[in-house]
Amino acid sequence: MSEAKNKIRVGIWGLGRAGWCMHSSELDKYKDEFDVVAGCDLEADRLENFKKKYPAAKAYLDGNEFLADSNIELVSVAVRSPQHVDYAIRAMEAGKMVFLEKPIALTTAGTAKLAEAEKKYPGKLFFRHNRRFEACFCHVMDIIHSGVLGEVFEIKLCRHSYQFREDWQAIIGCGGGQLNNWGPHIIDQSLRFLESPVESIWSDLKLITGRGDAEDHLKIVFRGENRRVVDMEISGGISLPSPVVAVYGTRGSLISEDEMDIKLKYLDPKMEMPNYPAHPETPPLGQNFSGVVAPKFIRKTIMVEPENGLQLTDIYHVLYQAIREGKPYPIKSEEAYEVVRVTEIVKKQNPQFAIKEDEFGK
């Protein structure tokens, strides 16, 4: 019989859509690695549901009492976005490890506070950028690194929907908007795909169908120092969605419409690129416009199956490996902080959607 694992004892702070619908189900997937021992929320009915699911766990309405629970090792911070920084720091000050939901902060002033806390409490803070483990993202990265597409010069990422959003995430003063909702996920993927320091950022934010005052449509175009371009778009106002990802390289392209399959069209690896120059002479009559040498393409559609075998719901398993087994946690602090730096640049480029510090977190 194998030796029982040393479970990590978790307290979930915030039992809303993120804490209850995502963190809870992901933790349940790894019951041999995690034990949910406490939950905290301002709504009593949510605590009642929590107790039904985890009868041995403690339920708290008061955050200070929750943090005083010595049985909690790790606090999963899943409260509203403007509270993420302060609640994470409070948990670290109480001696807990912290798993911080995105957006990890709304401004670089917030990430500066987190960086100071990390210096004071090293090894205690982990960031939940779970889309880093999205199967399609991982598989596309595998294909890029295989070289079959040649030198990749442009990548497009899209998350499209059409909805009349009306909750707090549609309100600027609550830290809402697609830039802070889907934004951290796709910005993080964009920066990974860029594989280079950012040279420039162009952006545009719009309000299309949402019922609040926050943006529900955004486009960000990154250009890396390596001259690669990543064009990302997130929208709640597009009814016919574009492919989730498209990659363009010097030897071929790929697209994924639904993150389940990947369609590829690339030059036969045995084919050499033409090495003759263009000429100024008049071409013969009947010659087409594509040149003398015709490309020999390979076309195929494959299922999404990344080499690492991971998917986005595996992030808690990766976290366990970092805490209990000493493996490096793949989401580095400076990478998470760079996502917030990008969101702040975008807000400054679109001042009509800018966050006012006195609107939240007080």
Other Cβ atoms closer than 10 A to 164: 11
Residue 288 has a pLDDT of 73
Residues 79 and 223 placed together within one structural domain of the fold: no
SS (H, E, C) 8-72: EEEEEECCCCCHHHHHHHHHHHCCCCEEEEEEECCCHHHHHHHHHHCCCCEEECCHHHHHCCCCC
Summarize the confidence of residues 287-300 as an average pLDDT.
86
Residues 140 and 250 in one domain: yes
Domain extent for 22: 8-129+312-330
Q: How many domains does the chain have?
A: 2
pLDDT band at 3 (very low <50, low <70, confident <90, very high): low
Task: Please give the angle made by the CA atoms of 287, 292 and 298, to the nearest 5 degrees.
Answer: 120
**Mean pLDDT within 100-120:** 97
Amino acid at 112: A
Q: Are residues 99 and 50 in the same domain?
A: yes
Residue 359 has pLDDT above 50, yes or no: no
Averaged pLDDT for residues 133-150: 98
Mean pLDDT value across residues 241-253: 98
Same domain, 175 and 297: yes
**Residue 359 in domain:** no
Assess whether 299 and 168 both reside in one domain: yes
Residues 173 and 263 in one domain: yes
- Residues 308-353: pLDDT tens digits? 999 999 999 999 999 999 999 999 999 999 999 999 999 999 999 9
In angstroms, rounded to a whole number, what is the distance separating the alpha carbons of residues 91 and 124?
A: 10
Asked whether residue 100 is domain-assigned, the answer is yes
Q: Do 325 and 211 have their domain in common?
A: no
Residues 58 and 172 in one domain: no
Average pLDDT over residues 260-281: 93
- Stretch 226-248: mean pLDDT: 98
CATH number at residue 153: 3.30.360.10
Across the range 177-183, mean pLDDT stands at: 96
Helix H segments across the chain? 24-29, 44-53, 63-67, 84-93, 108-120, 135-146, 183-194, 315-324, 333-349
Backbone angles phi, psi at 153, to 5 degrees: -115, -20
pLDDT of residue 360: 43
Q: How confident is the model at residue 4 (pLDDT cuts 50, 70, 90)?
A: low
- Mean pLDDT of the 90-106 span: 98
Same domain, 102 and 12: yes
* CATH number (domain holding residue 46): 3.40.50.720
Does residue 282 form part of some domain?
no
Q: Is 220 part of any domain?
A: yes
Same domain, 197 and 146: yes
Q: Are 135 and 259 in contact (CB under 8 A)?
A: yes
- The pLDDT score that the predictor gives to residue 156 is 98
Check pLDDT > 80 for residue 289.
no
| Residue 362 pLDDT | 36
Same domain, 148 and 292: yes
